[in-house]
Amino acid sequence: MVIGGSTSLIRQFEAAPPGKLFCLHGGTPLVFRLSLYAASHALLRGVPIALVDGTNRFDAYYIAEFARKVTSQTRKRVTPEQLLRQIFVARAFTCYQMEATITEQLPAFLKQKGATVAIIFGLLDTFYDEQAPLFEVKAGVQRIIAALHRLKAENISVLLASMDVKLESKERNMLLPRVLAAMDHSVQLIEEVDGVRLVPYNNFIIRHSRFDIQYSQRTLSGGGHHG
């Protein structure tokens, strides 16, 4: 069940003190799978999670499978419903929705639920849309970064999962580095023929086999019913 290299990342994210900004990024959708693996561990401990999905990558079936594996490999009976009812998913389809969700709705929701963990999938995906004026995009990203730091100050830990993309616009290509610079810890996941490399921001390279990190190949589109 253990995904290679994930244990240390999960421990760093969950370790005291609370209030951390983490980013997992790379050119592979495994960044979302690894994030869901971390989320599943938190849900197993009874930690409620708010997940903002800007790229339609939330997979409820992954969490359900995690619950079944825990049940089959341990003496503890865990049902998919036990985990899924603790994760609350909001979806954003435009950069304006993403900004409003993170700067306004997310803080209020976390406070209401008493939750201390938030996960954001595809933070910048909607900001890459060329139809959104660049000056509005830059300002929106800066306001989101400020909102993330306010969450950190309130002891909320946030995990971002983003796909690396190469855009024609040089200015929009600089959005991810701007976000990474605002994080406490960033890790790039690089998929190679012989396995996977996890490259932290300090360039210390950790190697893992692809089998370890991709223990489940099952992916169903449109996963998630907690919108």
The pLDDT assigned to 5 comes to: 55
Q: What is the CATH number of the domain that holds 81?
A: 3.40.50.300
The pLDDT assigned to 134 comes to: 96
Query: Is position 218 within any domain?
Result: no
Q: Which domain holds residue 197?
A: 6-213
Query: Is position 224 within any domain?
Result: no
- The number of angstroms, rounded, from the C-alpha of 28 to the middle of its chain's C-alpha atoms is 13
Query: Is position 16 within any domain?
Result: yes
The pLDDT assigned to 6 comes to: 56
What number of other Cβ atoms are within 10 A of residue 194's Cβ?
8
Query: Is position 180 within any domain?
Result: yes
| Angle of the 6-14 helix axis to the 30-44 helix axis, nearest 10 | 60
Pair 51, 214: CB distance under 8 Å: no
- Token look-up 């169903």 returns 220
Query: Is position 205 within any domain?
Result: yes
The pLDDT assigned to 17 comes to: 81
pTM: 0.85
Query: Is position 227 within any domain?
Result: no
For 150-167, give one letter per residue: b (16+ CB within 10 A) or e: ebbeeebbbbbbbbeeee
Sequential pLDDT tens for the chain (227 residues) = 333 455 677 777 877 788 999 999 999 899 999 999 999 989 999 999 999 999 999 999 999 999 999 999 988 899 999 999 999 999 999 999 999 999 999 999 999 999 999 999 999 999 999 999 999 999 999 999 999 999 999 999 999 999 999 999 999 999 999 999 999 999 998 877 777 777 886 433 333 333 333 322 222 223 344 44
Query: Is position 53 within any domain?
Result: yes
Query: Is position 140 within any domain?
Result: yes
Radius of gyration of the chain (CA): 17
Q: How many domains does the chain have?
A: 1
Contacts of 81 (CB under 8 A, 6+ apart): none
Strand partners, 87: 49
